[in-house]
Amino acid sequence: MTTHSAQLFSISTGSPEPIYRQLVEQVRRLVAAGQMAPGDGMPSVREVAQTLTLNPMTVSKAYGLLEMEGLLTRKRGMGMSVAERPAAGHSAAARAELLRPTLERAALEARQLELDPDTVLSLFTHILKEQA
């Protein structure tokens, strides 16, 4: 069990996606991918707010939503940690679904650039292999 640092997060301003939502998505992805394991401690609201220079209420809002979803649990006097949950939640299909918003944005831009699907898919395939 580890306690994660606030460096884990990165946010971007100027996005149509509110910052609290960016934080929520990042935790979902990290948990789904197993980079955050059940029982792991989350950085405190204050630490995240100060590291990323964010209003602490924005961080609380993200943590609150993740708690409601059951992804995080609040332990008395110990802050937030990643909830214990069955591995079934981590199916490839569930993880792929998390990628949807990003891909939808990419698809929108592809249409604006009038690119055909084959060109876009081959570019994406290329990028995937490049990173690996």
Q: Which of 58, 66, 82, 110 binds other proteins (CB under 8 A)?
A: 58
Rg from Cα positions in the chain = 17
Smallest separation, CB 123 to other proteins (Å): 22
CA 23 to mean position of chain CA atoms: 6
Cβ atoms of 54 and 71 closer than 8 Å: no
Q: Note whether 18 binds other proteins by CB under 8 A.
A: yes
Site residues for other proteins, 89-128, by CB under 8 A, read 108
Of 50 and 73, nearer to other proteins (C-beta) is: 50
**What distance separates the 2 farthest-apart alpha carbons in the chain?**
54
Q: Note whether 57 binds other proteins by CB under 8 A.
A: yes
Q: Note whether 20 binds other proteins by CB under 8 A.
A: yes
Helix boundaries (H) for the chain: 19-32, 45-52, 56-69, 92-112, 117-131
Q: Note whether 46 binds other proteins by CB under 8 A.
A: yes
